[in-house]
Homo-oligomer: A and B are copies of this chain.
Amino acid sequence: MSARSKVYVTGSRPDIRVPFTEVALSDGEPPVRLYDTSGPGSEPADGLPRLRADWIAERGGGDRVTQLHYARNGVITPEMEFAAIREGLEPEFVRAEIAAGRAILPANINHPETEPMLIGKEFLVKINANIGTSAVSDSIADEVEKLTWATRWGADTVMDLSTGKHIHATREHIIRNAAVPIGTVPMYQALEKVNGDPVKLTWELYRDTVIEQAEQGVDYMTVHAGVLLRHVPLAADRVTGIVSRGGSIMAAWCLAHHTETFLYTHFRELCEIFARYDVAFSLGDGLRPGSIADANDAAQLAELRTLGELTTIAWEYDVQVMIEGPGHVPIHKIKENVDLQQEWCHEAPFYTLGPLTTDVAPAYDHITSAIGAAMIGTFGTAMLCYVTPKEHLGLPNRDDVKEGVIAYKIAAHAADLAKGHPSAQVWDDALSKARFEFRWEDQFNLSLDPQRAREYHDETLPAEPAKTAHFCSMCGPKFCSMRISHDLKAYADKGMSEKSREFVEAGGKVYLPVVD
């Protein structure tokens, strides 16, 4: 992979250095630059360089240190310029999208290690990878390794969903090694503090947990504040009930206390905390459907309306907001999800899990959901939460994380093409041109997974000369349509009948020597 290197583009000041993966090509073709999420690399014990430390210090502190606050005040922060360069768009456009609430730039002031990025429908579709310990699988080193691995393959943000022991320490290691924004669900840690009994949860305990995590540098937090008491019965007759952990915890609390969830009644206090750190809300869909049968039902839509109300409140405090979405949704019901979310939540960015387009393929839900993810991304969803092959079955290992990330990079890029993002198709065109011109190494190096592409090729035709061969093992040398096509192209450059005559005179050969 030595044809791939990291290059930096410098912005309006020398400390704005934006990374790209540059793929060098052969035959005089210009290099191609790809969006890069892999970060500067680090030894886990040391943590990453504090890229944004000066930018944050320069702006000083205050009650509202959010990117939304600055955007609304007409300020293009270094973070906005950095992210604009990554997208190949104008910084002013980025500022305007953030100011309108149509995009977020998750960037806790206590997480200066992040390389700024954007989540919004006008930008490249992003993907999130979930990691985290659980009661049955609990190793900090494994999770930090998964973080690095996930971003190497293209994860734009990572959520730490740890529920095992050492939640605080696990998160600390993850954040200090993360060049991407880190999200959490603070409720999980709060519940650990009351030994797993949701009835014992209190606002004060939850608030302190949020502050603890905000202090560490969590960039966005999932808050299931839309699971209202009156919504819970709507889920009672579902095929799969409540499948969100956070949602079910809050539903249990609401029922036990027969009162409204403290996430809703104390939402303004939460906004004040978030504003002081620039934590973004990821308003959770605690009532998302867990099966095809439950998609777009009354429970799900009732909660979505509430998330729209909460969005407006968060914006009063200059707090950035995105909205979480389902889940399991058949293809014909996907668009409605985006349309209603955009309408009810005032165009706040949508962030969906999949959706899975069928329930019948456990062990392949990265595929069932990549289908839904590509579609919902096309319709305007800004970030896609990945699903691994282990969904519904077990905890993802390193290989599963990679499979999930790659499936979602495919979905996101397919959506970028469909949306016509100005920098999207360059990549496809460069790879297809390399394919047509039999520049095998260029094709591999431009691939989402160069190593596997090379391995698969070598499995059938392992010899080194095959890498420059003008055919592949699929058709063999005699039947290669691309080979024939080249000969046709050469003839097509002249008039048709002259072409025909020459072709016959030349012996009608369309198969040139197979190796250069």
Residue of A389, A395, A432 with most chain B CB atoms under a 10 A cut-off: A432
Distance in Å: Cβ of A261 to nearest Cβ of chain B: 13
Q: Is A476 an interface residue (CB 8 A)?
A: yes
Q: Is A272 an interface residue (CB 8 A)?
A: no
Report whether A255 and B491 are in contact in the complex, using a CB–CB cutoff of 8 Å.
Answer: yes
In the complex, A218 Cα to B254 Cα: how many Å?
Answer: 65
Q: List chain B residues, Cβ under 8 A from A484.
A: 198, 242, 248-249, 251-252
Pick from B245, B432, B459: contact of A291, CB under 8 Å: B432
Report whether A233 and B371 are in contact in the complex, using a CB–CB cutoff of 8 Å.
Answer: no
Between-chain CB contacts (< 8 Å), 21 pairs: A135-B477, A136-B460, A164-B476, A196-B479, A242-B481, A290-B436, A291-B429, A293-B428, A293-B429, A332-B417, A357-B414, A360-B431, A362-B453, A363-B456, A364-B449, A366-B367, A367-B370, A367-B406, A370-B371, A392-B472, A394-B457
Report whether A417 and B239 are in contact in the complex, using a CB–CB cutoff of 8 Å.
Answer: no
A344-374 with Cβ < 8 A to chain B:
357-364, 366-368, 370-371, 374
Report whether B361 and A447 are in contact in the complex, using a CB–CB cutoff of 8 Å.
Answer: yes
Q: How many residues of A contact B (CB 8 A)?
A: 132
Knowing A392-B435, A459-B394, A474-B134 are in contact, say whether A367-B481 is a contact too (CB < 8 A).
Answer: no
Which residue of chain B has its CB nearest to the CB of A331? B418
Closest 6 CB pairs of A and B: A241-B485, A135-B476, A199-B508, A236-B492, A258-B500, A394-B460
Which residue of chain B has its CB nearest to the CB of A443? B362
Report whether B363 and A449 are in contact in the complex, using a CB–CB cutoff of 8 Å.
Answer: yes
A426-475 with Cβ < 8 A to chain B:
427-429, 431-433, 435-436, 443-444, 446-449, 452-453, 455-457, 459-461, 472-475
Q: Using a CB–CB distance below 8 Å, which chain A residues touch chain B?
A: 134-137, 163-164, 188, 191, 196-200, 229, 232-233, 235-236, 239-245, 247-249, 251-252, 255-258, 290-293, 328, 330-332, 357-364, 366-368, 370-371, 374-375, 378, 389-395, 397, 406-407, 409-411, 413-415, 417-420, 425, 427-429, 431-433, 435-436, 443-444, 446-449, 452-453, 455-457, 459-461, 472-482, 484-489, 491-493, 496-497, 499-501, 503-504, 508-511
Report whether B357 and A247 are in contact in the complex, using a CB–CB cutoff of 8 Å.
Answer: no
In the complex, A16 Cα to B235 Cα: how many Å?
Answer: 45
Report whether A378 and B332 are in contact in the complex, using a CB–CB cutoff of 8 Å.
Answer: yes
Report whether B493 and A331 are in contact in the complex, using a CB–CB cutoff of 8 Å.
Answer: no
Residue of A136, A393, A418, A497 with most chain B CB atoms under a 10 A cut-off: A393
Distance in Å: Cβ of A417 to nearest Cβ of chain B: 4
In the complex, A395 Cα to B364 Cα: how many Å?
Answer: 22
Report whether B136 and A236 are in contact in the complex, using a CB–CB cutoff of 8 Å.
Answer: no
Distance in Å: Cβ of A168 to nearest Cβ of chain B: 17
Pick from B364, B394, B457, B499: contact of A406, CB under 8 Å: B364
Distance in Å: Cβ of A506 to nearest Cβ of chain B: 10
Pick from B242, B414, B431: contact of A371, CB under 8 Å: B414
Report whether A240 and B136 are in contact in the complex, using a CB–CB cutoff of 8 Å.
Answer: no
Residue of A200, A244, A248 with most chain B CB atoms under a 10 A cut-off: A248
Knowing A241-B482, A370-B371, A432-B240 are in contact, say whether A508-B256 is a contact too (CB < 8 A).
Answer: yes
Report whether A476 and B363 are in contact in the complex, using a CB–CB cutoff of 8 Å.
Answer: no
In the complex, A27 Cα to B117 Cα: how many Å?
Answer: 50
Q: List chain B residues, Cβ under 8 A from A251.
A: 484-485, 488
Pick from B436, B475, B500: contact of A256, CB under 8 Å: B500
Distance in Å: Cβ of A236 to nearest Cβ of chain B: 4
Distance in Å: Cβ of A84 to nearest Cβ of chain B: 23
Q: A258-B500, A332-B418 are in contact. List 10 more A-B contacts (CB 8 A).
A: A134-B476, A199-B508, A241-B481, A241-B485, A247-B481, A249-B484, A252-B487, A256-B504, A293-B428, A358-B428
Knowing A359-B428, A508-B199 are in contact, say whether A436-B241 is a contact too (CB < 8 A).
Answer: yes
Distance in Å: Cβ of A42 to nearest Cβ of chain B: 28
Q: List chain B residues, Cβ under 8 A from A197.
A: 508-509
Which residue of chain B has its CB nearest to the CB of A446? B360
Distance in Å: Cβ of A444 to nearest Cβ of chain B: 8
In the complex, A472 Cα to B362 Cα: how many Å?
Answer: 13
Q: List chain B residues, Cβ under 8 A from A332.
A: 378, 417-420
In the complex, A419 Cα to B331 Cα: how many Å?
Answer: 9
Report whether B407 and A460 are in contact in the complex, using a CB–CB cutoff of 8 Å.
Answer: no
Knowing A428-B293, A447-B361 are in contact, say whether A163-B476 is a contact too (CB < 8 A).
Answer: yes
